[in-house]
Amino acid sequence: MRGLTRYPAITATAVVLATVLVLQARGEPATARWVATAWVAGFIVWTLMGMVRDVLRGHVGLDVLAVVAMVATLAVQEYVASLVIVLMLAGGEALEDFAARRARRDLTALLDRSPRTAHLLAGGDVPVDDVAVGDVLLVRPGEIVPVDGALLTAGTFDESSLTGESLPVSRETGDEVLSGAVNGTRAVRLRAARRSSDSQYQQIVALVAAAQESRAPVVRLADRFAVPFTAVSLVLAGAAWTISGDPVRFAEVLVLATPCPLLIAAPVAFLSGLSRAAGLGVIMKGGTVVEQLARLRSAAFDKTGTLTQGRPDLVAVRPATGFAADDVLRLAASAEQYSSHVFADSVRRAAAARGLDLLAADDAEEVATRGVAARVAGRSVVVGKPAYVRSVAPDTSDAVLGPGQAAAYVAVDGRFAGVVVLADDPRPESAAVVSWLRANGVEHVTMLTGDARATAESVAGQVGIDDVRAELLPGEKVRIAAGLAPRPLMMVGDGVNDAPVLAASDVGVAMGARGATAAGDAADVVLLVDSLGRLVDAVSVGRHTLRTALSAIWLGIGLSIAPMIVAMTGAIPAVTGALVQELVDLATILYALRALGGPPSGLPATEGAPRLR
């Protein structure tokens, strides 16, 4: 019964068709003809209105063939056939709805598992949107953590949907746990650190919702084929009429000229590709991204947190004369305590590991890609790159660093205080990803980083990149990316400073669980799982999806033209042709759904990571 109300055009047309057949059986052909003509004429007007709206939006009106076919069948008094055409066109809506629901299954799965309620320790169950920062929540065994928070009791969590780690992860009291993680076998308490809308999983849900909206490349694909397909169909129909001298042949040919492979099959393929990617932990923001990924010719990578692990480890603290190592580290960590840079986080972790308490920092100011200046316990502290620190401490000397090492230079009260040496190793999969891209048609691979050239070149050499642009400001990254060729260009990064260049690239990719930040907002693709190997999945799915969409279109066109040629001989009556048309639609839609089963990447670094459903 719900199907009858969901698709009123199908229901009404079926009723009209049944009425016409009954009238014919009762010997009232004139009444049957007028009933059919009135209904089909109304449908033609409704279709024409939709075509005009499409043309005004700059898209070719693909329904022109259907309109001509309906007019032609009415003109030659094949009014039963005209009703069948209307029924088949209306049925296309139901087919598209079914196929779209099937195609969206993994996208929908991500949305469906979004937490709806939270258990306040004092106050009972409340909608998750009502949770305030500081509220104490109870998360029962097997439940999804509703908001980001700090644990008040230790526990284990399944974080596979956020990090790709398939084994349960133990978290201690005070550790941060992100929304979307699944609690283990015992109840835990946590203090909310962010509201629902600002928490990790809701950010992911917002990305998924946006991914379902854009269908621009589908329209472009349809427009590319619409005019030639319409022209060929009209030529075949006109030739059949001219050769036979029978206008009925014109109608019999046109009822087989279905536009549905263009109208339905391509959108279904793109939706399937988006869903397939979501199941692999890759959120693509619309079909435009799919097409750009499929045609990728160049790739650029940030270094820290993208090609590298993004969690540098302390190698050494080298104090200058007159300073103690612990004092240098404590002052540096205190000045950097409000910075979001991964090096700042590493300096703070190193200080904590040595048991050093941070001091209050006032007047903190961060200069993007350069460093931080602050007043710490009444002292002026500057931490950052050598040129930045040298601007306030001319006696700053360059440190000798090993391969892959980086240094945070420190100045105190205008004097060079020393360096904090860090090492950030490449991700184990980085070299394999770069190699895969080169082997699969990406002609130019480059590194764009704000880090020192020596460090950047060391990492680039380990992962197989020979074009290195180092010591760049965010604006310089944008300028260089604009000049890179050939296009399309994919830029991969993970930090706030990467947001401008991600937005300016043909395809911007934000890395890992950190993707739902400023970089994630600016990016076209967000890799939810913190593995660069997912980039291979993204490109593979993009190529498979575009190939499937184009194949579905050509399949539909071929399956339409072949019976059209047969119909030129008069071998296929108009009613039969309308039914054949629907079979062609069904075949192309089923073919388009193949995009749900995109080929696995085969990259070792991505094997074994869980699907997000």
Catalytic positions: 302
Query: For residue 444, which phi and psi values (nearest 5 degrees)?
Result: -130, 120
Single-letter amino acid, residue 312? P
Residue 376, φ and ψ in degrees, nearest 5: -120, 115
Looking up tokens 């920092």 gives 361
* Cα(376)–Cα(137) distance, integer angstroms: 35
* Helix or strand run (H / E) with residue 444: strand 444-448
Cα-to-chain-centroid distance, residue 114: 18
* Token pair belonging to 433: 């990803």
CA distance 229 to 570: 21
Between CA 292 and CA 302, with CA 297 as vertex, the angle to 5 degrees is 90
- Whether 267 contacts 545, CB under 8 Å: no
Compute the distance between CA of residue 139 and CA of residue 133 in angstroms, rounded to an integer. 16
Are 157 and 181 a contacting pair, CB within 8 Å?
Answer: yes
* Residue 112, C-beta contacts closer than 8 angstroms, at least 6 positions apart: none
The encoded tokens of residue 355 equal: 């048991």
Q: Which residues touch 611 (CB under 8 Å, ≥6 apart)?
A: 106, 279, 280, 281
User: What strands, in cross-sheet order, belong to the sheet with 379-384?
Assistant: 313-319, 415-423, 405-412, 379-384, 371-376, 361-367
- Angstrom distance (rounded) from CA 105 to CA 405: 45
CB 83 within 8 A of CB 16: yes
Non-local CB neighbours of 285 within 8 Å, separated by 6+ positions: 207, 210, 211, 214, 523, 524, 525, 526
Alpha carbons 97 and 39: distance in angstroms, whole number: 24
Helices (H), 425-573: 430-439, 453-463, 474-483, 499-504, 518-522, 533-567
C-alpha to C-alpha distance for 286 and 22, rounded to whole angstroms:
48
Distance CA 397, CA 66 (A): 77
Nearest C-alpha neighbor of 291 from the set 224, 218, 222: 218
Give me the sign of the Cα torsion angle 551, 554, 557, 563.
negative
* Spatial distance between the Cα atoms of 106 and 281, rounded to a whole number of angstroms: 10
Q: Is 405 helix (H, G, I), strand (E, B) or coil?
A: strand
Asked if 555 contacts 261 with a C-beta cutoff of 8 angstroms, the reply is: yes
Cβ-proximal residues to 123 (8 Å cutoff; 6+ apart), any chain: none
Nearest by Cα to 305 from 512, 479, 533, 521: 512
